[in-house]
Amino acid sequence: MDMKMRDSEALVVFSGGQDSTTCLFWALKNFKKVSTITFLYGQKHSKEVEMARAIAEKAGVDFHLQDVSFISQIGSSSLTDTSIVMDQERPGNSVPNTFVPGRNLFFLSIAAVYARERGIKHLVTGVSQTDFSGYPDCRDSFIKSLNVTLNLAMDDQFVIHTPLMWIDKAETWELADKLGVFDLIRNETLTCYNGVPGDGCGHCPSCKLRNEGLNSYLARREAKQKNNK
């Protein structure tokens, strides 16, 4: 971390899920000031917005809710359209229908405009290429490309931070633990595609990924504690 970051403000793209909540606390550790922006994009479970608001309040950071529900009007996804049955797995080499086309493109672009108005240069997003479930806008190449584009678009010097890009779900739990927010993230975030907080419904693709990571981290932590005795 350079001194520039410690003196600066960061804007976290925040959904109230495991990944972006981990990013929020990562940012609180690394930046002088942190704000959050949460998007209303037509997600089926508006409960996640209320959980995001509660976490932001607890963390003592600004919470800005931005309506971008046009995203679900122009593109379709099983996360926003109740008539589409959710893909349980990635179908071959194509993207699963839980993909919301343009989501991260719009989120980060709008976050950058919002940040620019407030003199904020640092944007933080919880995307990860490691547990790549077929979402093209979670890849490092996309983020780097968009960073260049945003700087050109607004003649600015944004830096997009992706603390989770190269770590898997177990390591994301480990990071949460190191940041002292393991229990908060386990109990007070919502990652489940079926809208069940905490450990979730257990069977949707998002719960499977989260719980597998959790179990593998807990097993590793237990083994470490035994070795230390």
CB atoms within 10 A of CB 49: 18
211 binds Zn ion per the rule CB under 5 A: no
79 binds Zn ion per the rule CB under 5 A: no
Please identify which residue in 11, 49, 192, 214 interacts with Zn ion, judged by CB under 5 A.
192
Binding piece for Zn ion, criterion CB under 5 A, among 78-86, 152-160, 201-209, 214-222: 201-209
Closest CA to 16 of 66, 59, 50, 64: 50
Instruction: Find all residues with CB under 8 Å of 201, minimum gap 6, and list them.
Output: 192, 193, 194, 207
CB atoms within 10 A of CB 104: 20
Q: Which one, 139 or 208, has the nearer CB to Zn ion?
A: 208
Binding piece for Zn ion, criterion CB under 5 A, among 11-19, 71-79, 168-176, 192-200: 192-200
Pairing verdict, β 159-161 and 122-124: parallel
Tokens of 55: 């976490």
CB atoms within 10 A of CB 21: 29
204 binds Zn ion per the rule CB under 5 A: yes
Q: Which one, 79 or 123, has the nearer CB to Zn ion?
A: 79
194 binds Zn ion per the rule CB under 5 A: yes
213 binds Zn ion per the rule CB under 5 A: no
Question: Which helix or strand (DSSP H or E) is residue 62 part of?
Answer: strand 62-67
- Distance between CA atoms of residues 39 and 71, nearest Å: 10
- Distance between CA atoms of residues 142 and 28, nearest Å: 25
Q: Which one, 18 or 30, has the nearer CB to Zn ion?
A: 18
- The site for Zn ion, by CB under 5 A, has a size of 6
Please identify which residue in 200, 213, 214, 217 interacts with Zn ion, judged by CB under 5 A.
200
Task: Determine contact, residues 38/62, Cβ cutoff 8 Å.
Answer: no
Instruction: Find all residues with CB under 8 Å of 16, minimum gap 6, and list them.
Output: 38, 48, 49, 51, 52, 53, 55, 189, 190
Q: Which one, 46 or 145, has the nearer CB to Zn ion?
A: 46
Binding piece for Zn ion, criterion CB under 5 A, among 14-22, 29-37, 102-110, 189-197: 189-197
CB of 194 to Zn ion, least distance (A): 5
Please identify which residue in 100, 207, 213, 217 interacts with Zn ion, judged by CB under 5 A.
207
Please identify which residue in 84, 201, 219, 223 interacts with Zn ion, judged by CB under 5 A.
201
Binding piece for Zn ion, criterion CB under 5 A, among 60-68, 92-100, 196-204, 212-220: 196-204
Q: Which one, 9 or 19, has the nearer CB to Zn ion?
A: 19
Site residues (vs Zn ion, CB under 5 A): 192, 194, 200-201, 204, 207
